[in-house]
Amino acid sequence: MNILRRANAFDVGKLLFVGALWGGSFIFMSLALESFGPVSIAAGRISLAALVLLLFCAVSGRVLPRNPRDWAKMVTIGALNSALPFFLISWGLQFISVAESALLLATSSFASLIISHFVSTDERINLARAVGVSIGFFGVLVLVITELLEAGPGGVKGQAAVMAAGLSYSISSVMTRRITHLPSVPATTAILLSASLYMLPLAFILEQPVNLEATPTAVISIVMLGVVATAFAYVIRLSIIRNNGAVFMAQVGYLVPVFGVLWSWLFLSEALELKTLIALGTILVGIAVTRRAN
């Protein structure tokens, strides 16, 4: 594995950018559910992202990895990093609110902290990491606590699905450090391609992914999920994990709900409350504290 460095301002900017991209994914997933099932949404965004990156590799002359050991790792990462969590989150959103989903996914940062402590030598639990992760989680809690109190507890199966998705993300982030010797774009392409090879057939077996009556909004949502929130964002994600580690990357889970609220304010004319700005400020403080750990 490569040696991690302390996150600089550019690294924090990349983390914020990925958080902004993924912040819109909850909205797009909710819109896509109007016409497609959760397996079809997961298969569609993964396959589209793989196709986009394959075309980019072909045009730019990039070559996919060839080592069978690397491919074995990437196939596993593809399942844990995209196929499984994409399905679980889409499925879970049918039973619980976006706010509850955001809070449950935020717990993945704690999972990453614990897993990394036992499987790595340079991401051990220390005071800065523990405090930074805790501060960030408090920021998410500030953001969603009102909605949680108003809505009450969601369905247990939806909660379990989203928490399982968060754990899957955490494990995949730690595993991704095993392939950081590979270029970001080809490695991301291989990961998504491997996941699409079994997600597409699964979608046709379990659902009807080809919906000729799908609304334009649902189709556009799938395209945005595939091209922007998956292909583009996952290349950046791999580079962050390579440079700054899984624990730092896991904090994007705190930023996603904040940006989800910001996008709803900008594009859906929903009210922007003071708690959103407080939550964002708290999360940024948590990220700043975590930076001191490296």
Nearest to 5 by CA among 247, 248, 244: 244
Tokens 């407080």 identify what position? 278
Q: What percent of the chain has pLDDT over 90?
A: 31
145-149, 217-221, 244-248: range with lowest mean pLDDT: 145-149
Task: Assign 81 a pLDDT band (cuts: 50, 70, 90).
Answer: confident
How large a percentage of the chain has pLDDT more than 70? Answer: 94
**How many angstroms separate the first and last alpha carbons of the chain?**
15
Q: How confident is the model at residue 249 (pLDDT cuts 50, 70, 90)?
A: confident
CA distance 60 to 216: 32
- 179: its two tokens: 């392939």
Over the stretch 122-150, which tens digit does the pLDDT of each residue have? Answer: 678 888 888 888 888 888 888 777 766 66
What residues contact residue 205 under an 8 Å CB cut-off, 6+ apart? none
What pTM did the predictor assign? Answer: 0.81
